[in-house]
């Protein structure tokens, strides 16, 4: 299976996925794409020998369809079977999602369906939750809402700042996402829900 990974920033999840695919694995990374030419993950992808490209969303000034047409053109060159959104911070239109539905995954830093959207760690702290975590799901037109393919949980500790919690969750993201992609790429859609 050919996997394209979409990022917006550091790409730590992309690195975790790529490292896992370097071993015996049903998939391999064929492209890393960022919506920001300055995304640090682009250089990390190239350092790992993965083709990397940027499609800057800013020139499109909110014309999402035009931006996505540019994304799609670059993706079609790479001809991926699976798309992994990994720290990708742009909302995708229904049209784009429809083209990839069933073959597009995303990782979100909360225990969905709790805390869709942004600032998930601060919201979990504000709610006084005893636990938090991350979710890998199939992407559907609704934001952070598709079938859950995996979840991992972390404790919320006394005195946690949002940054402390984000760091604890990120460690689990780097374990969960590769495990889910490995299973998904082998055709198994059973969710991975750690105890």
Q: Is 125 in the site for ligand GRF (CB under 6 A)?
A: no
Is 106 labelled as part of a ligand binding site? yes
Q: How far apart are CA 53 and CA 63, in angstroms?
A: 20
Q: Is 35 in the site for ligand GRF (CB under 6 A)?
A: no
Taking CB atoms, the residue at the shortest distance from ligand GRF is: 87
The interface with ligand GRF within residues 41-100 (CB under 6 A) comprises: 41, 86-87
- Figure out which of the listed residues 3, 5, 6, 11 binds ligand GRF, where binding follows CB under 6 A: 11
Is 35 labelled as part of a ligand binding site? no
The one catalytic residue among 108, 132, 137, 174: 108
Number of helices (H), then strands (E), belonging to the chain: the values are 6, 8
Q: How far apart are CA 45 and CA 84, in angstroms?
A: 14
Q: How far apart are CA 141 and CA 94, in angstroms?
A: 5
- Closest to ligand GRF by CB, 72 or 171: 171
Closest approach of ligand GRF to the CB of residue 68, in Å: 20
Strand order in the sheet with 2-7: 52-54, 28-34, 2-7, 82-85, 104-108, 131-138, 148-155, 192-193
Is 11 labelled as part of a ligand binding site? yes
Closest approach of ligand GRF to the CB of residue 128, in Å: 21
Stretch of 4-12, 110-118, 142-150, 187-195 contacting ligand GRF, by CB under 6 A: 4-12
Residues 6+ apart with CB under 8 A from 36: 8, 9, 54, 56, 57
Size of the site for ligand GRF (CB under 6 A): 15
- Figure out which of the listed residues 4, 6, 13, 184 binds ligand GRF, where binding follows CB under 6 A: 13
Q: Catalytic site residue 108?
A: yes
Alpha-carbon torsion, ordered 163, 168, 171, 172, to 10 deg: -130
CB–CB of 96/72 below 8 Å? Answer: yes
The interface with ligand GRF within residues 128-167 (CB under 6 A) comprises: 166
The CA–CA distances, whole Å, from 97 to 70, 136, 152, 195 equal 15, 16, 25, 31
Residues forming the active site:
108
Q: Binding residues for ligand GRF, per CB under 6 A?
A: 7, 9-14, 41, 86-87, 107, 109, 166, 170, 173
Q: Annotated binding site: which residue ranges?
A: 11-13, 64, 106
């Amino acid at each position: 299976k050919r996997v394209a990974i979409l990022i917006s920033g550091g790409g730590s999840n992309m690195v975790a996925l790529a490292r896992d695919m370097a071993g015996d694995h049903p998939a391999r990374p064929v492209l890393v794409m960022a919506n920001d030419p300055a995304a640090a993950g682009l250089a990390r992808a190239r350092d790992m020998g993965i083709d990397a490209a940027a499609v800057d969303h800013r020139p499109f000034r909110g014309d999402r369809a035009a931006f996505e047409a540019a994304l799609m053109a670059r993706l079609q060159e790479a001809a991926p079977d699976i798309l992994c959104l990994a720290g990708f911070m742009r909302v995708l239109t229904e049209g784009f999602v429809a083209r990839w539905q069933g073959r597009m995954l995303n990782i979100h830093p909360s225990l969905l369906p709790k805390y869709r959207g942004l600032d998930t760690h601060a919201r979990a702290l504000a709610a006084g939750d005893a636990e938090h975590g991350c979710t890998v799901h199939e992407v559907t037109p609704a934001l952070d809402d598709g079938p859950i393919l995996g979840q991992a949980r972390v404790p919320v500790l006394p005195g946690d700042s949002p940054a402390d919690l984000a760091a604890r969750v990120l460690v689990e993201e780097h374990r969960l996402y590769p495990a889910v992609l490995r299973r998904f790429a082998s055709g198994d859609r059973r969710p991975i829900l750690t105890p």
